[in-house]
């Protein structure tokens, strides 16, 4: 009986920790399927985490906070789109810049608004999601999986979006606006990252602290590769990585189950190691969308 409760407890905390990973992973899925690499997931989540907590603290309404978080994430997505679609800059460098922009600005603004060493005040009852609200986030994240699958693989928009990530010239020839499609994908990515960030600071925890995403954006990126850019597999990958995070918080449990001690650092590094192994093609090959990373230049 007791082991069942422990199992349920671990399952629950895996699910809670997998939720932001899943949302960010699907965000990356939309962007990368459209041919826009996004290593700025981390930055977008961080900005959303800060702005949702900050605005919720100021207005007292968690819903306005959520909107502000999504807005902040969308603004960064806009910069990424401007740099990588409009000005045909390097998508990876743009992503790096966005991560640093978010890391710096969140602390700078937090210090200026709240003077608490780069954090927001602890959020009270109306300004954060209670247990029920947090549940809703988990369900929303889970529902986003079939929704993404449906949009990407069963709608015309999804077909075009995937095509634009494989062969933008062909899509252009068919009379579809490549730039608009890619911007749409980047915007969807922004919204999903925004929800993920808001979840971190207003549902999983009650307030923003400096660097609170703690590499989750990169784990989501790892999960995306692990899932080979497919929505259902993303669910599996994110749950696995969420599970690894959950058990690294309970080293006593692992010892009880497998009989010897596993280093916490190994568990922390495992998502990254697994991703490298997958990338190296030892467990099937991970082939990204073919036009990923390349700006589209219309022929004249």
User: What are the residues binding other proteins (CB under 8 A)?
Assistant: 39, 79, 82-84, 87-94, 96-101, 103-105, 107-109, 111-112, 115, 118, 215, 218, 221-222, 225, 263, 265-266, 268-269, 272-273, 275-276, 279-281, 285-286, 288
User: Considering the complex, what minimum distance in angstroms separates the CB of residue 251 from other proteins?
Assistant: 13
User: Considering the complex, what minimum distance in angstroms separates the CB of residue 122 from other proteins?
Assistant: 20
Query: Whose Cβ is closer to other proteins: residue 94's or residue 202's?
Result: 94
Q: Is 189 helix (H, G, I), strand (E, B) or coil?
A: helix
Query: Whose Cβ is closer to other proteins: residue 66's or residue 224's?
Result: 224
User: Considering the complex, what minimum distance in angstroms separates the CB of residue 138 from other proteins?
Assistant: 26
Query: Whose Cβ is closer to other proteins: residue 6's or residue 269's?
Result: 269
User: Considering the complex, what minimum distance in angstroms separates the CB of residue 134 from other proteins?
Assistant: 27
| Contacts of residue 37, Cβ cutoff 8 Å, sequence gap at least 6 | 31, 91, 92, 95, 288, 292, 293
CA distance 54 to 71: 13
Query: Whose Cβ is closer to other proteins: residue 62's or residue 97's?
Result: 97
DSSP string, 225-275: HHTTT-HHHHHHHHHHHHHHHHHHT-HHHHHHHHSS---HHHHHHHHHHHH
Query: Whose Cβ is closer to other proteins: residue 100's or residue 157's?
Result: 100
CA-wise closest residue to 170 among 180, 160, 182 = 160
CA distance 35 to 67: 27
Query: Whose Cβ is closer to other proteins: residue 15's or residue 190's?
Result: 190
Query: Whose Cβ is closer to other proteins: residue 5's or residue 115's?
Result: 115
User: Considering the complex, what minimum distance in angstroms separates the CB of residue 36 from other proteins?
Assistant: 12
User: Considering the complex, what minimum distance in angstroms separates the CB of residue 112 from other proteins?
Assistant: 4
Q: What is the largest CA-CA distance in the chain?
A: 71
User: Considering the complex, what minimum distance in angstroms separates the CB of residue 236 from other proteins?
Assistant: 19
User: Considering the complex, what minimum distance in angstroms separates the CB of residue 88 from other proteins?
Assistant: 6
CA-wise closest residue to 114 among 49, 207, 201 = 207
Give me the residue label for tokens 């749950």: 239
Where does residue 129 fall: left (phi above 0), alpha (psi -120 to 50 degrees), or beta otherwise? beta
Q: At what angle do helices 231-248 and 131-154 cross, to 10 degrees?
A: 150
Query: Whose Cβ is closer to other proteins: residue 90's or residue 142's?
Result: 90
CA 299 to chain centre: 34
CA distance 247 to 67: 32
């Amino acid at each position: 009986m007791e082991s069942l409760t422990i199992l349920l407890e671990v399952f629950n905390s895996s699910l809670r920790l997998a939720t932001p990973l899943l949302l960010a992973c699907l965000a990356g899925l939309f962007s990368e399927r459209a041919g826009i690499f996004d290593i700025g997931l981390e930055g977008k989540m961080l900005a959303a985490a800060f702005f949702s907590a900050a605005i919720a603290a100021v207005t007292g309404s968690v819903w306005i906070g959520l909107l502000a978080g999504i807005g902040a994430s969308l603004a960064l997505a806009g910069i990424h789109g401007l740099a990588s679609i409009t000005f045909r800059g390097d998508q990876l460098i743009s992503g790096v810049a966005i991560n640093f922009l978010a890391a710096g600005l969140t602390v700078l603004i937090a210090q200026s608004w709240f003077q608490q060493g780069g954090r927001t005040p602890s959020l009270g009852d109306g300004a954060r999601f209670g247990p029920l609200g947090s549940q809703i986030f988990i369900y929303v994240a889970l529902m986003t999986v079939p929704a993404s699958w449906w949009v990407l693989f069963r709608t015309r928009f999804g077909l075009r979006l995937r095509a634009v990530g494989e062969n933008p010239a062909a899509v252009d020839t068919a009379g579809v606006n490549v730039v608009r499609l890619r911007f749409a994908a980047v915007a969807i990515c922004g919204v999903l990252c925004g929800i993920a960030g808001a979840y971190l600071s207003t549902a999983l925890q009650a307030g923003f602290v400096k660097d609170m995403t703690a590499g989750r954006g990169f784990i989501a990126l790892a999960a995306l590769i692990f899932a080979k850019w497919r929505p259902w597999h993303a669910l599996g990958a994110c749950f696995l990585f969420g599970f690894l995070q959950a058990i690294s918080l309970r080293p006593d449990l692992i010892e009880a189950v497998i009989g010897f001690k596993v280093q916490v650092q190994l568990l922390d590094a495992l998502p990254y190691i697994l991703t490298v192994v997958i990338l190296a093609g030892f467990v099937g090959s991970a082939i990204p969308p073919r036009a990923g990373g390349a700006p589209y230049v219309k022929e004249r």
